[in-house]
Amino acid sequence: MTAVLYAVIYAALLVFGVSTVVRAVGYARAPVHLRWELYPVPHEPSERLKHGGSYFEISEWWTEPRRPNLAAEVGWMAREILFLKGLWDANRPLWFRSFPFHFGLYLLAGTGGLLVVAAVGSLAAPAALAGTAGLVLRGLYRVTAVGGFALVLVGSAGLLHRRLTDPTLRTYTTPGDIFNLLFFLAALGLVALGLVARPVGSPGLLTVTIGLLTFDTGVRVEPVLAAGLFASALLVAYIPLTHMSHFVAKYFTYHAVRWDDAPLRDNGKLAAKLAEYLTYRPTWSAAHMKADGVKTWAEVAAANPAEGARK
């Protein structure tokens, strides 16, 4: 049974990793689109960023060297990723549900990382973790785990409650949306319950992590915790297959769309990509398109559908 649990966890992590990479690569390999930015763009210098301005506010902007304000962009990202700043500004009632949910997930991800560190430490240098360092590490992951489980459960319950009771959302809510939130509640609720209710001395998260790293099938995980871990593993595998993989998408919607203000001027790499796109052969059927699947995009753009009428 323990072997099956380990296999499922490893498989889930693999599915998560591969699916996330495949999704990210898919978006990254999509052609560079026409510019479609939205202001404010946070890598503008602070004197322009404060009012949402762009380099278009400078006369002959192309003569000025571009110096992206990376500090401001990183600060913006940090506020958005960690605290969902945009949601705080635009939809406060949702923020009170969504923020705990997302921040709880960060804490749980952090818990996972700390557990791996603690497990590797216990295996590689048990003496080092016997003292204060071990105490701190264990204290830390316990805090992040408790905080994480509490926040995710509260957040997902809040989101589910909103989705079930707000008539506005009813039109747009699918069974899958309800299932997703229930899945979070059930999987993480079971893990939390398993941890709280397990007998003293029975394997906890650190023991399971060490067991996972060593594939020690002798670890006897209590049934409720095992069920929770099993469900959580499935959840981890499931997330990147759904719209909940917006942690991947958000990088692109922000960096590749909203904030992509890179001009073509003096950008040889971009010019090379565009040269390739202009050789694509569109097949749109409307008569004015003059796209027959033979003409390239550049030829279609150069054609004048009103040419006959002009003569």
Closer to other proteins at the Cβ: 30 or 197?
30
Q: How far is the CB of 234 from other proteins (least distance, A)?
A: 15
Q: Are 158 and 96 in contact (CB under 8 A)?
A: yes
Interatomic CA distance for residues 260 and 263, integer angstroms: 9
Scan for tokens 């693999």, then name that residue. Answer: 14
For residue 192, count other CB atoms closer than 10 A to its CB. 20
Residue 278 engages other proteins in binding (rule: CB under 8 A): yes
Q: Locate tokens 């753009």: which residue?
A: 301
248 and 17 Cβ atoms separated by less than 8 Å = no
**What token pair was written down for 121?**
């430490």
Interacting residue with other proteins among 6, 8, 48, 210 (CB under 8 A):
48
Residue 143: alpha-carbon gap to chain centroid = 24
Q: Is 284 in the site for other proteins (CB under 8 A)?
A: yes
Site string for other proteins, 115-154 (x = CB under 8 A): ----------------------------------------
Q: Is residue 283 a contact point for other proteins (CB under 8 A)?
A: yes
Residue 157 interacts with other proteins (CB under 8 A)?
Answer: no
Of 254, 16, 132, 131, which is closest to residue 8 (Cα–Cα)?
16
User: Nearer to other proteins by C-beta: 27 or 215?
Assistant: 27
Residue 176 touching other proteins (CB under 8 A): yes
Q: Does 175 bind other proteins (CB under 8 A)?
A: yes
Show Cβ contacts of residue 58 under 8 Å, excluding neighbours closer than 6 positions. 64
Cβ proximity to other proteins: between 179 and 215 the closer is 179
For position 20 contacting other proteins by CB under 8 A, the verdict is no
Q: How far apart are CA 210 and CA 201, in angstroms?
A: 15
Residue 64 within binding range of other proteins, rule CB under 8 A? no
CB of 149 to other proteins, least distance (A): 22
Q: Which of 177, 198, 207, 213 binds other proteins (CB under 8 A)?
A: 177
Q: How many helices (H) and strands (E) does the chain have?
A: 14, 0
Burial call 201-224: b when 16+ CB within 10 Å, e when fewer = eebbbbbbbbbbeeeeeebebbeb
Q: Binding to other proteins (CB under 8 A): which residues in 232-251?
A: 242-243, 245-246, 249-250
Nearer to other proteins, 33 or 220 (CB): 33
C-beta of 265: minimal distance to other proteins in Å? 6
Rounded CA-CA distance 92/102 in Å is 15
Number of residues that bind other proteins (CB under 8 A): 91
Q: What's the closest the beta carbon of residue 143 comes to other proteins, in angstroms? A: 27
Q: How far is CA 247 from the centre of its chain?
A: 1
67 lines the binding site for other proteins (CB under 8 A): no
Among 22, 58, 128, 133, binds other proteins (CB under 8 A): 58
Among 17, 45, 52, 223, the residue binding other proteins under the rule CB under 8 A is: 52
